[in-house]
Amino acid sequence: MPYAVETVSSFLESDKPVFGICLGHQILAQVCGLKTYKMHNGHRGLNHPVKNLITGLSEITSQNHGFAVDDMSLPPEIEITHRHLSDNTVEGLRHKTLPIFSIQHHPEASPGPHDARHSFGKFKQLMEDFHA
């Protein structure tokens, strides 16, 4: 989806906060110079365990994707924030200096666990800081 990568690239030039979810995670990864690849078996359904590398806590998540981010192409300004505990794929990224982050799973999905909803609070805080 080159048009989506191009559109999101223009957002990054403005220093506005950006939060990517699922496909948005993959698009942000490509914008930041990472590669993505088609998974042999995608992640589908509820109860996928993901480790938040920042807090050290595990989150039970909803997932629906067949592509993943290649962590071998990680540029120095990007940090991995989440890993899938079943296959160690990248589940979250953040930019070290810009207000940009993304997650591969669906924090908005319900019914089911709400472990990842804190991501919206993080984005809200970035938006408030941007407008302050």
Q: Catalytic amino acids? A: 22, 106, 108
Looking at residue 55, its amino acid is T
CA dist list (Å): 117 to 73, 79, 131, 132: 28, 20, 22, 24
For 115, the token pair is 């472990």
Burial status of residue 103 (CB atoms within 10 A of its CB: 0-12, 13-18, 19 or more): buried
Give the separation between CA 118 and CA 82, rounded to whole angstroms: 13
3-state DSSP call for residue 95? strand
Angle 112-113-118 from CA coordinates, rounded to 5°: 130
